[in-house]
Amino acid sequence: MAKELWEGNAAIAEAAIRAGLEAFFGYPITPQTEILEHLSHRLPELGRVFLQAESEIASINMVYGAACAGARVMTSSSSPGISLMQEGFSYIACSEVPAVIINVMRGGPGLGNVAPSQGDYFQAVKMAGHGDFHPIVLAPGNIQEAIDLTVLAFDLADKYRTLAMIAADGSLGQMMEPAEMPPLRPVRPPEERAAWALTGAKGRKPNIITSLYLVEEELEKVNLRLQAKLREIAANEVRWKEYSTEDADLLMVAFGTVGRVCQTVVREARAKGLKAGLLRPITLWPFPSARIAELAGRVRGILVVEMNAGQMLEDVRLAVEGRRPVHFYGRMGGIIPLPDEILPQLEELDAATRS
């Protein structure tokens, strides 16, 4: 299929359709509303389910219900809406049903603004919902990745019966780039829904989907199973990209939009004679800790750059375990740090680690 100029939000929505999305439940919130709008005309014309819910709380619980019924389902929102959905995430995680969440992050806290941000790193990766769980979190840095990772999110959600979240930001949602769509996959017919799904107890014992386990040992057993699954995901699904790390002695770690901004910083730093490299995590959970630890052994220092006050920074520091200096540069309020303000930070790290 030929490349087309895709806007990020529309690209994510269309990619979900190509991946076999059967039902979408969502609520408008800037800067992701184009996802909902795209699906509002595309899904009905394909005979699939589109429903604008009364709130993000209703959206996520509709997603929960449709997922329990065995359908391929997703919702999309932006930071304040994602906050509202956290309760649902927790239920979905414990019930082990697959669901895809698109989070096009905006400035916070509170109502914040509609400008791009990465302030949801913690609430995505650590999950603000109650109990012990993580979703798979995928952070695209460009439109092609947004498409490919959306498709991957559905496949991973299905494979592990888990939540998979796309953590994009407002700029990725609004920007346009040439990208290629995958072919349209057929929708899974209802009679092929999973054996665990609620499809009516015809000729079998009833299926019960619950997150309630009143006996402590039973709940612990569920938790142990969840943790084993998370370890399996961590072992199999960690993804990242590296730029000029082969000979780097200064490593930058940045994801999403600011990750690609740092690609420019690497080029500019190299032009000035600094041996800079970049690791851009694609999965924020599971986090590429092992690779960062490995690279930390080969560089003088690390610079983490984020559109927040330093959230992924904590995971980088945990990976590095204090063996190298880890500096941080972040902008908040919906501001994207530009190469000309990041480069001096890298030069400072260079100077500080030379002595």
Judged by the rule CB under 8 A, the positions of this chain that interact with another protein are 3, 5, 22-23, 25, 49, 51, 53-55, 57-59, 61-71, 73, 87-88, 91, 95, 114, 171, 174-178, 190, 198-203, 206-212, 257, 260-267, 336, 338-340
Q: What is the DSSP string of 289-346?
A: HHHHHHHHTT-SEEEEEESSSSSHHHHHHHHHTTSS-EEEEE--TTPPPPHHHHHHHH
Count of CB atoms situated within 10 Å of the CB of 351 = 10
Angle, helices 312-320/289-296, rounded to nearest 10 degrees? 60
Q: How far apart are CA 117 and CA 177, in angstroms?
A: 20
In 3D space, the residue among 237, 230, 246 whose CA is nearest the CA of residue 288 turns out to be 237
Smaller CB separation from another protein, 49 or 234 = 49
Q: How far apart are CA 162 and CA 156, in angstroms?
A: 8
Q: How far apart are CA 98 and CA 137, in angstroms?
A: 14
Give bridge partners of residue 301 from the DSSP assignment: 250
> What values do phi and psi take at 330, rounded to 5?
-145, 150
Smaller CB separation from another protein, 51 or 219 = 51
Least Å distance between CB 90 and another protein? 8
Smaller CB separation from another protein, 176 or 318 = 176
Which residues in 56-91 are b (16+ Cβ under 10 Å) and which e? Answer: bbbbbbbbbbbbbbbbbbbbbbbbbbbbbbbebbbb
In 3D space, the residue among 46, 117, 53, 99 whose CA is nearest the CA of residue 337 turns out to be 117
Q: How far apart are CA 56 and CA 82, in angstroms?
A: 8
The letter for the amino acid at 129 is: G
Least Å distance between CB 119 and another protein? 18
Integer angstrom CA distances of residue 280 from 139, 199, 253, 312: 9, 42, 6, 11
